Amino acid sequence: MSTVSPAPEGTRSVGLTDIGRVRGENQDAILADDELGLWLVADGMGGHAGGARASTIARDTIRQQVQSGAGLDDAVMAAHYAVRAEQRDQPDVGDMGTTIVAARELEGRDCEICWVGDSRAYSYSRTEHRLDMLTADHNVAGMLVASGALSPAEAACHPQRHVLTDCLGLAGDEEPRLGQLVRSWQSEELLILCSDGLSGELSDEEICQVLKDGVGLKDIAGSLLDRALAAGAHDNVSLVLVGPPKVSGGRKGRWLWPFRRGEGN
């Protein structure tokens, strides 16, 4: 059964996570905190108990760190250390880890995105109907794309596309590679954060078409989840959609992303 993240109805973001068609447990965690200006998707791994624990630790640690004033990069690294501490304290989940993709709103119209692993961030332009992948996968296929040995299309079907090179909880002395970018949030741009349970089932073209046809955030999120389930949903499916900042005008301001009637101000 799908579960909606605890963002109140009619606010700026929508989050959905589903166990999928094959897995026996949902090991993903999501956050859609419009008040804090923090949104994330974590895809856990490491057996029956470990994956869900790792993604939950990452989500809660990042939220706590940001609430305390930490930068997003420091919050993500704090989550890595928290997962490692749990590995040491609980040997039965010593192999657990999690991906992370997180976005935080900065002052003005800037947005910071940090990621480790193969959970992704996309931007979608409503005016140009264009979907852009903002992150780079930290997996074997992504490493080959970065080196020029594979095209993105070839990477999408590479046999090692699910083999991660980096994650939170990475074993050994090395710290995980942290992807990071800061960009300006365009006025009619939607941000999509997702696990590979979505991006692994739907092509970028399919995702773009759903975004183009959708009317409101809940409609789009539900359609993306439905399409992933129809495609087989071999992994847990998680996504968070975030509309752009409010603009001035009226007592409360208004959202620039189109909502269904009654969804937003």
The larger pLDDT score, comparing residue 18 to residue 144, is at: 18
State the Cα–Cα distance between residues 76 and 170, nearest whole angstrom: 13
The pTM assigned to this predicted structure is 0.87
Query: Is 82 exposed, middle or buried (CB count within 10 Å of its CB: 0-12, 13-18, 19+)?
Result: buried
Residue 199, pLDDT score: 94
Please report the DSSP string for 20-66 in residue order: -SS-SS--EEEEEETTTTEEEEEEEESHHHHHHHHHHHHHHHHHHHH
Residue 254, pLDDT score: 43
Query: Do 135 and 120 touch, CB atoms closer than 8 A?
Result: yes
The larger pLDDT score, comparing residue 102 to residue 48, is at: 102
pLDDT higher than threshold 80 for residue 163: no
The token duo for 245 is: 């900042």
At 262, the amino acid letter reads: G
Average pLDDT over residues 239-257: 64
Residue 256, pLDDT score: 47
pLDDT, tens digit (0-9, with 9 covering 90-100), for 58-68: 999 999 999 99
Average pLDDT for the chain: 85
Average pLDDT over residues 31-55: 92
The larger pLDDT score, comparing residue 69 to residue 173, is at: 69
State the Cα–Cα distance between residues 41 and 119, nearest whole angstrom: 7
What kind of fold does domain 21-242 have according to CATH?
Answer: Phosphatase 2c; domain 1 (3.60.40)
The larger pLDDT score, comparing residue 247 to residue 47, is at: 47
pLDDT higher than threshold 60 for residue 203: yes
Residue 192, pLDDT score: 98
Q: How confident is the model at residue 264 (pLDDT cuts 50, 70, 90)?
A: very low
State the Cα–Cα distance between residues 21 and 181, nearest whole angstrom: 34
pLDDT, tens digit (0-9, with 9 covering 90-100), for 67-112: 999 999 999 999 999 999 999 998 888 889 999 999 999 987 899 9
SS3 content of the chain, % helix, strand, coil (to 5): 30, 25, 45
Look at 33-37, 156-160, 165-169 and tell me which has the smallest mean pLDDT: 156-160
State the Cα–Cα distance between residues 34 and 211, nearest whole angstrom: 21
Handedness of CA 234, 79, 15, 247 (dihedral sign): negative
- Domain residue ranges in the chain: 21-242
Which alpha helices (H) appear in the chain, and where do they start and end?
Answer: 47-67, 72-89, 140-147, 152-155, 196-199, 204-213, 217-230
State the Cα–Cα distance between residues 101 and 41, nearest whole angstrom: 6
Radius of gyration of the chain (CA): 18
